[in-house]
Amino acid sequence: MDKVRLGLIGVGGMGSEHLRCLLLDEGAEVVAVADLDEGKLQAAVERTGGKAKGYKDYHELLKRDDIQAVFVAVPEFRHKAVALDVFAADKDLFLEKPMATNLRDTDEIILAGRQAGKLLQIGLVYRYASFFRGMKRLLAEQQELGRILMMWCIEHRLSFPPIPWYHSQEKTGGAIVEKDCHHFDIFNWMLERRAKRVCAFGARSVLVPGGDYYCEWPGLKPAVIDYGDNVDHAEIILDYGDGITAHLSLNLALRPADLSLGFPLEIGGIGWNGRKMVSHVDEGTITFTGGRTAESQTHDMKDEQDAKALAHAGGMQEHVEFLECVRTRRPTYADGVVGRESMLPAFAAERSIKEGRIVEIEEIMDEGLLPNEPYCEPPMPR
């Protein structure tokens, strides 16, 4: 197998995880890394055994014509600038989610990739997890719920890390954009349609000045998070039309704030057939109950490849498939359009909270640069 020669821009929390996965992948050769932070840069170079060259200025990395593709894991308020430079340097791009902090920047990234004829894969890691691909098969092929009537997602966990940009609306587009593009993508994927309107409520109530939320993330200096303007909890209701609904419950202020609770995530659904699905990603189980036969069944979805990813299931496979796309020029699965769709309900929810009203998705789409096309779900790779 030909090794794909790669560069990484941003080797903080997520960039380090990309590096770890790529070093385990025999199809990858990491030849360069870039980061503004000298300590993180040196640590990344050392992890490659000195094989990768380190650059403080990522433009220098992009000048190398031996690099075929680049992983970008800088904060999202810098995604557009770096992504456009990657395409201008004629390289394929793996870009972390969320694609940007607003729809115009998102669309500029998609258009620049198309114009350059380069591949774009977004870090919607769950699209690559056996767990969720198994869920998709149970729902789409085995029709466990028949036609899906409603879905939900419950993510109650510790805060974002004690890194200031994570807590800023301006720098993330909002906590719901930063975090829940993953979960809206699961709704899109399973329901195969786009939400029509969104109503949300939320606030920053715990991680506030005078608060005592002391957060300990591995590898980061522990700190009290008593700053920022992103919501720390929210309830979001989505109307998909034709009676189909979904809701998402987010809490980012659970204690203990030290990762000991992991990242518990429940995804559920109820079908027109009266059957209910409850899945726990951290436990690796999907359970169906009720329906005409009232038969209860639990599927063990634990998977070796999923387990190799430290942060989220799918973290190994997303690299394997991206490298395969670079080699074969096959389109990526979580491409720019999938990434864009994952953000539309998030932008609407942020606006709904700010303006205290129901927000139509069409209103959000009208602000983009791409024409308003009907929702199109790409085929799942086998």
Ligand X SMILES: NC(=O)c1ccc[n+]([C@@H]2O[C@H](COP(=O)([O-])OP(=O)(O)OC[C@H]3O[C@@H](n4cnc5c(N)ncnc54)[C@H](O)[C@@H]3O)[C@@H](O)[C@H]2O)c1
> Contact residues for ligand X (CB under 6 A)?
9-15, 34-37, 40, 58, 73-76, 78, 96-97, 123, 125, 163, 178, 311-312
- Cα 36 vs. chain centroid, distance in angstroms? 23
* Minimum CB distance to ligand X, residue 51 (Å): 19
DSSP secondary-structure letter at 126? Answer: G
Q: Which residue is nearest to ligand X (CB)?
A: 12
Nearer to ligand X, 77 or 375 (CB): 77
- Three-class secondary structure of residue 208 per DSSP: coil
Nearer to ligand X, 15 or 269 (CB): 15
Nearer to ligand X, 163 or 370 (CB): 163
- Cα 146 vs. chain centroid, distance in angstroms? 27
DSSP secondary-structure letter at 326? Answer: H
Nearer to ligand X, 9 or 246 (CB): 9
* Minimum CB distance to ligand X, residue 357 (Å): 27
CB within 8 Å of 186: residues ≥ 6 apart: 126, 132, 153, 267
Nearer to ligand X, 100 or 238 (CB): 100
Nearer to ligand X, 35 or 92 (CB): 35
* Minimum CB distance to ligand X, residue 324 (Å): 19
* Minimum CB distance to ligand X, residue 177 (Å): 9
* Minimum CB distance to ligand X, residue 93 (Å): 13
* Alpha-helix runs per DSSP H in 103-174: 103-116, 130-140, 169-172
d(CA 348, CA 205): 21
Query: Across-strand partners of 70?
Result: 7, 93
* Minimum CB distance to ligand X, residue 265 (Å): 11
* Minimum CB distance to ligand X, residue 347 (Å): 15
Q: How many CB atoms lie within 10 A of CB 275?
A: 22
Assign residue 169 a region (left: φ > 0; alpha: ψ between -120 and 50; beta: otherwise).
Answer: alpha
Nearer to ligand X, 309 or 365 (CB): 309
Contact 319, 123 (CB under 8 A): no
Assign residue 339 a region (left: φ > 0; alpha: ψ between -120 and 50; beta: otherwise).
Answer: alpha
